[in-house]
Chains A and B, each alone.
Chain A
Amino acid sequence: MECRGHDAYGRLPQSVKPRTIKKLLVANRGEIALRIIRSARVLGIKTVAVYSEADAGAAHVAAADEARPIGPPDPGRSYLNIDAIIGAASAAGADAIHPGYGFLSERPEFASATDAHGMIFVGPPAAVMAALGDKVAARRIAIDAGVPVVPGLDTVDASDLATARGFAASAGFPVLVKAAAGGGGRGMRVVNEAAGLAAGLEAAAREAQAAFGDGRVFLEKYLARPRHIEIQLLGDHHGTVVALGERECSIQRRHQKLIEESPAPGLSSAMRTRIIEAALKLARAAGYRNAGTAEFLVDGDNFYFLEINARLQVEHPVTELRFGCDLVVEQLRIAAGERVTEPAAPRGAAIECRINAEDAAHDFRPAIGRVIKLGLPAGPGVRIDTHLGVGAEVSPYYDSLVAKLICYGADREQSRARMAAALGEFSLLGINNTAAFLRDVVASPAFARADLSTRFLEENFPHWTAAGADLTAALIAAALVAGGNLDSGRAGAGTAAANSTRNESDGVDGRTPWTELAGFELWGQR
């Protein structure tokens, strides 16, 4: 499952089993928890899953060697509860904790607490994480290391308009107001003209104060059509840092990446070398350790440092397929004190699509539900990382990512064609999801031409809806369901047993409004 169809996969640099990690607690859920458990198992490391009350039946719980409950569904009281997780790790006798991505992965206090309890934190040291987590501090590290940053003003007092006006006049509008403590697009404002500057500064500061408890903001020149390109880094305890090429992540919606690929199409080798050198300089200056990613914006012949993500990225499999490596294995080896080595030359091209539980035709609003039927793609060069299975539930408490589809090819066109075909094979009944939208994006001429920028979706897919034939088929299917002539939840010898106890379509006492009533309406407001 890790890398179906990729014959160069499985290389491990003349490694031995890590000497000090025997039992690893995975402080996460979903596909990434499952993915980390798999790599640990390959290394002979025992795994401990943690789960909230909403996840008792989840795939990562079943996959681990043991599992411990850590609290209620609300992530603040479970997956973000440092005491509960450290407590579970101590009780299980774990000697290391892998934070995955999201949740506690970039909280310096979690790394410190892990350390303080004599366990290995699989990630950078708390102090490095703290320095990089502050965007203004990270900009300073970059400037001191001679790495270009987007022209900007380091901190702005929202009341000091004269300074802000001076910067905007020299850089030119539009300018971007960003929160120092920011993330996920919050505390960010584009200001198009001088008249809007005061209001933009105030709004961003207020939003930042509310979201992060830190109202500091800074100003940057706003780039019109940049590409988002990032460098995968690995650093060890002996001062060595290596880069594993780049990933292009320009296909974004509201600052959330949806499609990532490597290599970045059309990036000259001179430019690639310059960006990689800048990333290495930065990581060395910051004393970086373990896996991390340096993010850049590329605008014509210029590139600018954005931030370092001090963790494993969602899109790391793209790099794994090209470099024939397992980044979680590398993380565990580094955490155990082993040295990193220069990676082998990459080959081919890889693309990842994030399939989210969202309704792409209706402003990407989050969807929830239970998997009634699932068809996963396969074939040469096709990898899928998912925690979904029949009966699995997507609840409102957590992230909307339900599957990552990663396709490898000898070149971009082969990997793109495989991706389009694989998305066409994907089928999920029970939870609205973005697979059809992604297929249309991957199959589009603009994506085939690799005409990429962070505005790609706004420019090419401002209002997506399902294609005509799919909608026609779906309407006929709905009529067949209403008439009792199609019921994929009940039929199917293989899944009937799995469905019988939890399938919503069974209703209470087998009685539903559908069987009793001639017509019906939706209750409540959705």
Chain B
Amino acid sequence: MKVKQVGDQREIEVAIAARDGATVHARIDGIDVIAQLEPLPDGGAILQIDGRRIRIAGARTRNSILVAAGPASFEFVPVEGRAGASRHGLAAPEVTAPMPGKILKLIVAEGDHVEHGQALAVLEAMKMETTLYAESAATVKKIRVSVGDMVDHGAVIIEFSPAPADPSKSESPAPDA
């Protein structure tokens, strides 16, 4: 998979090529890395790389992968932009609040067809307005909030269903965010 750190432009390709017991063969931007993985009972693990033992922990959120490696903390966002068959051309099945805040404006209505990059809603957080945009063409299936609602980080704001089939676009990759 291809990832980048939130806030970074640099994309990094990383894959687990093989696992052989505790030995993990990873490939990072074309370079092979061999690491020893020792799971820990607390849900984390130790990774031994080049003789260094680094404690790791990781979890998914809706939009990213969070990782702690030693004291270092990372948020990775996958950047595979291709519209895979299993998601029917949707970049994600819903829009969630990127931070806690108040819904200031809903720009679309249920049943609307939206295009990639179209503004959907405006959220007020940290005294700033943040506009949420569509990342792919879709149909608004359900709006789960009303104007004035306070929403939590990760709360679902809008649910989508796939956009009506458009033969001219079905094979083309979705543009990257």
Residues of A within 8 A of B (CB): 54, 73, 359, 361-363, 365-370, 372-373, 375, 393, 395-397, 423-433, 435-436, 439, 466-467, 469-483, 485-495, 503-505, 507-508, 512-514, 516-526
A477 touches B69 (CB 8 A): yes
Which residue of chain B has the shortest Cβ distance to A511 in the bound complex?
Answer: B93
Q: Tell whether B68 is near chain A: CB-to-CB under 8 Å.
A: yes
Number of interchain pairs (Cβ within 8 Å): 274
Q: Mark B98-137, 1 if CB is under 8 A from A, else 0.
A: 1111000000000000000000000001100011111110
Q: Across the interface, do A523 and B68 meet the contact criterion of CB distance under 8 Å?
A: no
Bound CA–CA A54/B126 (angstroms):
13
Q: How far is the CA of A430 from the CA of B95 in the complex (A)?
A: 20
B160: min CB distance to chain A, Å: 10
Cα separation A478 to B12 with both chains bound (whole Å)? 11
Q: Please, which residue of chain B has its CB at the minimum distance from the CB of A54?
A: B100
B7 in contact with A507 (CB, 8 Å): no
Whole-angstrom distance between the Cβ of B12 and the nearest chain A Cβ: 6
Interface string of B3-15 (1 = CB under 8 A from A): 1011110001011
- With A473-B69, A513-B62 given, is the CB distance from A523 to B43 under 8 Å? no
Residues of B within 8 A of A359 (CB): 6-7, 75
Residue numbers in B under 8 Å from A475 (CB-CB): 3, 12, 14, 26, 28, 76
B169 at the A interface (CB under 8 A): no
Instruction: List 5 other contacts, CB 8 Å, given A427-B68, A505-B61.
Output: A427-B71, A466-B69, A472-B28, A504-B62, A522-B135
B55 at the interface (CB under 8 A from A): yes
Total contacting residues, chain B, CB less than 8 A: 85
Within B57-90, which residues are at the interface with A (CB < 8 Å)?
57-82, 84-87, 90
Residue of B nearest to A486 (CB): B58
Assembly CA distance A489 to B49 (angstroms): 24
Q: How far is the CB of A216 from chain B (nearest CB, A)?
A: 26
Q: How far is the CA of A469 from the CA of B28 in the complex (A)?
A: 12
Known A-B contacts A513-B62, A518-B85, A525-B133; A373 and B44 likewise in contact (beta carbons under 8 Å): yes
Tell whether, in the assembled complex, residue A396 and residue B126 are in contact, meaning their CB atoms are under 8 Å apart. Answer: yes
Docked complex Cα distance between A363 and B95 (Å): 27
B24 A373 Cβ-Cβ under 8 A = no
- Docked Cα-Cα span, A505 to B66, in Å, equals 10
